[in-house]
């Protein structure tokens, strides 16, 4: 796996991932009252944080995008 995420992209993914994971737990806004939406949101949050941690996004690889300055 070659790194394809830059620092700004990683920071944005961590912030968005944490928000997607925590919001259903707090039920803010109430759109996450459906358990399916809550689980999907939490799973997406975990994926965002994981891709930021590993500095690699498979979708970026498929699309040929790289925000890393290596």
Tell me if residue 61 falls in helix, strand or coil.
Answer: helix
Other residues' Cβ atoms within 10 Å of the Cβ of residue 34:
11
Residue 47 reports pLDDT greater than 90: yes
Query: Per the structure block, which two tokens stand in for 25?
Result: 């737990």
More confident call, 31 vs 11:
11
38 class by beta-carbon count within 10 Å (0-12 exposed, 13-18 middle, 19+ buried): middle
Question: Which pLDDT score, from 0 to 100, does residue 34 have?
Answer: 83
pTM: 0.87
- Mean pLDDT value across the chain: 91
């Amino acid at each position: 796996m070659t790194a394809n995420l830059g620092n700004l992209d990683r920071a944005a993914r961590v912030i968005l991932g944490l928000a997607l994971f925590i919001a259903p737990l707090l039920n803010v806004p109430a759109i996450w009252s459906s358990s399916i939406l809550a689980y999907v949101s939490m799973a997406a949050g975990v994926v965002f944080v994981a891709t930021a941690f590993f500095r690699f996004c498979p979708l970026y690889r498929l699309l040929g995008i790289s925000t890393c300055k290596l």
